[in-house]
Structure 1
């Protein structure tokens, strides 16, 4: 999953939480993210673009660490 923005991502289906680890080292949880959105992002060749267009500003989030 090479990306200049997203270093790693995990999805927790029980809570519908998408955890994004940015290349900067910051970690954010995006809440109430449907599985189909996670799967589409996982399949995307432009993870940062997908994140900005379909997740940020749409789903609530919380910063986990920096």
Structure 2
């Protein structure tokens, strides 16, 4: 999955697979995680959010199952 760099103090890049509804988040700390079942509008909201980290915390972190991939 190809990620794009974002401006954030906590998140380095994000990518999205619309077929499987998987959001991939790479943190500045080095961890990469897949969040499963994330609808396209939530991904688009994250891209548009002024604060990616706050949006992630409010709408993704505790709402979707995830796995660490790296």
Q: TM-score, normalised by structure 2?
A: 0.90
- Return 5+ residue gaps in structure 2 as ranges: 1-5
Structure with more relative contact order (C-alpha pairs < 8 Å, separation 6 or more): 1
SS in 2 for 1:58: coil
Pairing partner for 2:56 from 51, 55, 63: 51
- Return 5+ residue gaps in structure 1 as ranges: none
SS in 1 for 2:69: strand
Poorly superposed stretches of 4+, deviation over 3 Å: none
Aligned residue-pair number:
65
SS in 2 for 1:40: helix
Please, what is the CA RMSD of the aligned residues? 0.5
